[in-house]
Chain A
Amino acid sequence: MSKDQRKRIALVGNPNSGKSSLFNQLTGLNQKIGNFPGVTVDKKSGISVLTNGKKVEIIDLPGTYSIYPKSNDETVVADILLNKEGNLFPDVLVVVIDASNLKRNLLLFTQMKDLGLPVILALNMVDMADRKGVGYDLKLLEKEIGAPVISINARIGKGVEELKKALEEEVKPSANSFFDVTELAKEEIAEYLKKHSNDTAYWALQQLTINGKIKQKDSVQAKDTTLRYGKINRLVKQIEITKEAVGLKLYSEKIDKILTHKIWGYVIFLSVLFVIFQAIFAWASWPMDLIDVVFSELSVWLSTNLPAGVFTDLLAKGLVPGVGGVLIFIPQIAILFAFISLLEESGYMARVVFLMDKIMRKFGLNGKSVVPLISSVACAIPAIMATRTIENWKERMITIFVTPLMSCSARLPVYTILIALVIPDEYVLGVFNMQGLVLLSLYLLGFVAVLFSAYILNKIMKTTERSFLIMELPTYKTPRWKNVGLTIIEKVKTFSFEAGKIIIAVSIVLWVLATYGPGDNIKNAEQNVAKSLVGTKYTQNEFNDKVASYKLENSYVAKLGKAIEPAIKPLGFNWKVGIALVTSFAAREVFVGTMSTIYSIESADGDVNTIKSRMGSEINPETGKPYFTLAVGLSLMVFYVFAMQCMSTLAITYRETKGWKWPALQTIYMSGLAYMLSLLTFNLFS
């Protein structure tokens, strides 16, 4: 190892062993979040400063139970640790062990040690084991396993300094194996070791297994695990010191009696979801409004204070709204992930899976799909990011795919204006408001589409990964605010940088399309509008609105709107609606803004009533009656329920699925569904 190269230390351990807490204690804010190459498994790495001032790189490997992988997460760990040439291969391994669950945790540790890797055992949660009534002779443990043992409390940071001290020293792999596997595949291992004399028998066995050289590899694996556990059991008996139990587990069991109760369990879960939903909807709205105001003011200020020109226009009308369009999602993302990390940290998420698994499995979803689906009523973007908690690939893809079908908050202004336009404000049976009923139906329609699509997808998707649910039900723990805070920072960062660049790029493209047009019409907009208004009285504001509307009608976007008119005519839409459909791709709520520009209404975020009356006065030249009939209005609403019109969602799907296949499928499926169902609606009602 050259001097300038930092020592690389990998943290490994079972899920719920406190590995992430230790990682946060070691690195604090010096963390980088990325993906492991080729997979969407979070890769967390960071820099830790040791007591002597030396910096080391820390990698937090995904939680794993064994070196024999059973999931995507575990495959990542095995791939890294079994490849000496790989650029993530660690110099030292810190295996984090949950002392209250020593036997099961030692399986992974002894495997790591037997691979011949330099290991340190970080014994976490000794306090929990204490309360369970067991203690361990750590000196004896250290002697028996031949590796340094350091007692830590990752939650409060106890023992972290001692661990750092141990990392300053050179850690040597111990020569003796904990469990000798030579007998399990004698000839193959001997042959391998002839060529690689420095490797251990266990390393040889793993390499031979990967390369398909072991004939009955499942049975060898079963023997290895069983015999290894046998040895661990004897070791644990040897070092165990029995104390008096204080009843920590009973405490957890009491909580479970209520939280997994057949009635209270669901009541509490629904209440939790309701609080999350309210929070994303209500708490996020004021910072979102603030971001909205700041960026639109900035945009106005830039266009009035900078010299007029293309650059100013691009800055004020393309780039600034684009950046604003990214930042506006941050409050919702931060709030959702605050809740999710609280649910994960406390151990409640495992209970959610427990409660919902049977229902969700019928639709090819996972118990954990519930949280993304509910949060997508606010916004699909944080919801799709939240699907990372689903380990099974197929279940995760289905959840990502169907999530945008839930009616998000951006659809609400579109629904509101269209309902006000075509649905009478009357009561059915004296109690039900018609407009309210329609709104409710639109939300239900989205939810039905989610279940239907998931069901179909589950039937057609093939997977080699078998769906199973075998997981630890962790005991309840008080969440650590530091961990919650770091999760929020990490998620916000990921969204801003990864999805943000795509969103900004598309915003600029849309700006170009809406600002430029063929011929000189746009350049001469002022004169042309003035000419058409000769002899009529108008204020300066009215004139400006007419110019804006004229420019939009002559832009490339309008060309696009007119070009797609033949295609959308069967749905009852004209080219003006076509323009709104195109611009809605930036975000659905842009529909309202576009409509007000087309109908030249003062300021884009104007009064809904004004837009309503202008749209209401549009006459269909073919019938001579108002254009926005019940059929057109309903057809448009149905279209907005289903269509994939959100570049931010596509950007995040791209990021989360590592390719354009899923976003493309999502666009085709959702838009196809929207088209067919709008067609049906329009024909049913006209």
Chain B
Amino acid sequence: MSKAKTVGELKPGENGTICCFTDDRLSLKLLDMGCLPGTSVQMKFSAPLGDPLCIDVDGYSLLLRKAEAHTISLVE
């Protein structure tokens, strides 16, 4: 299986659709926040030092660290 692209790899303005999660504990929190498989997300901007990131999830802005964004795989 080729490595799927993650939310952490999106460029500002780029969209993607969530496929699945690679960290089970973290996924529960992300699900609570509305990051569901099938949800479309957009990378908005990153903090000046490259981390954390700000993404758009279903119309609201979500802050998360880069490492956390890398646990969200996207549909290819």
A→B interface (CB under 8 Å)? 65-66, 68, 70, 100-101, 103-104, 107, 132, 218, 221-222, 225-226, 229-230, 249, 253, 256, 260-263, 265-266, 350, 353-355, 357-359, 466, 468-475
Contacts and interface: CB of A to CB of B under 8 A. Distances in A.
Contacts of B48: 260-263, 265-266, 355
Nearest to A350: B63
Residue among A249, A261, A266, A468 with max Cβ neighbours from chain B (10 Å):
A468
A265 B45 CA distance: 13
A68 B28 contact: yes
B32 A260 contact: no
17 contacts: A70-B32, A101-B60, A103-B58, A218-B24, A218-B28, A229-B34, A230-B36, A256-B54, A266-B48, A357-B52, A357-B65, A358-B49, A468-B26, A468-B29, A469-B68, A472-B61, A473-B62
Given A218-B25, A470-B26, A470-B68, 6 more contacts: A70-B29, A253-B44, A261-B48, A468-B64, A469-B63, A471-B62
Contacts of A473: 54, 61-63
Contacts of A266: 48
Contacts of B27: 222
Contacts of B59: 100-101, 132, 249
Contacts of A470: 26, 29-30, 33, 62-64, 68
B47 A358 contact: yes
**Chain A contact surface mostly:** helix
Interface centre among A65, A249, A358 (most CB of B within 10 A): A358
Contacts of A253: 44
B9 interface: no
Nearest to A354: B47
A97 to B, nearest CB: 13
Contacts of A226: 31, 36-37
B14 interface: no
A68 B52 contact: no
A468 B65 contact: yes
Interface in B1-56: 24-34, 36-37, 44-45, 47-52, 54
B45 A260 contact: yes
Q: How large is the interface on B (under 10, 10 to 19, 20 to 34, 35 or more residues)?
A: 20 to 34
Contacts of A229: 31, 34, 36
Contacts of B32: 65-66, 68, 70, 107, 225
Contacts of B68: 468-470
A70 B32 CA distance: 10
A469 B58 CA distance: 19
Given A256-B45, A265-B48, A104 B37 contact: no
Contact of A353 (B26, B30, B51, B63): B63
B47 A104 contact: no
A104 B60 contact: yes
Nearest to A229: B36
Nearest to B66: A358
Contacts of B54: 256, 260, 354, 473
A226 B65 CA distance: 23
The SS class assigned to the B binding surface is mixed
A482 to B, nearest CB: 26
Interface of B: 24-34, 36-37, 44-45, 47-52, 54, 58-65, 68
A15 to B, nearest CB: 11
A350 B62 CA distance: 11
A427 to B, nearest CB: 38
Nearest to B56: A249
Contacts of A70: 28-29, 32
Nearest to A67: B32
Contacts of B62: 470-473
B25 A466 contact: yes
B47 A357 contact: yes
A354 B29 CA distance: 19
Contacts of A221: 28
A325 to B, nearest CB: 41
A609 to B, nearest CB: 48
Contacts of A218: 24-25, 28
Task: Among B26, B44, B61, find the residue whose CB has the most chain A CB atoms closer than 10 A.
Answer: B61
Given A468-B68, A471-B62, A65 B33 contact: yes
Nearest to B53: A354
A101 B60 CA distance: 7
Nearest to B55: A473
Given A218-B25, A260-B45, A262-B48, A354 B33 contact: no
Contacts of A353: 63
Contact of A222 (B31, B51, B52, B58): B31
B67 to A, nearest CB: 9
B23 to A, nearest CB: 10
A107 B34 contact: yes
A230 B24 CA distance: 20
A626 B52 CA distance: 57
Contacts of B49: 358-359
Contact of B63 (A132, A354, A475): A354
B50 A358 contact: yes
A266 B47 CA distance: 11
A221 B24 CA distance: 11
A353 B51 CA distance: 11
B52 A354 contact: yes
Nearest to B44: A253
B63 A471 contact: yes
Nearest to A16: B60
A350 B34 CA distance: 19
Contacts of A230: 36
A408 B62 CA distance: 36
Nearest to B61: A473
B60 A469 contact: no
Contact of B65 (A222, A249, A262, A469): A469
A65 B33 CA distance: 7
A101 B62 CA distance: 12
Nearest to A468: B68
Given A469-B63, A469-B64, A470-B68, A225 B31 contact: yes
A470 B50 CA distance: 16
Contacts of A66: 32
Nearest to B67: A468
B6 to A, nearest CB: 15
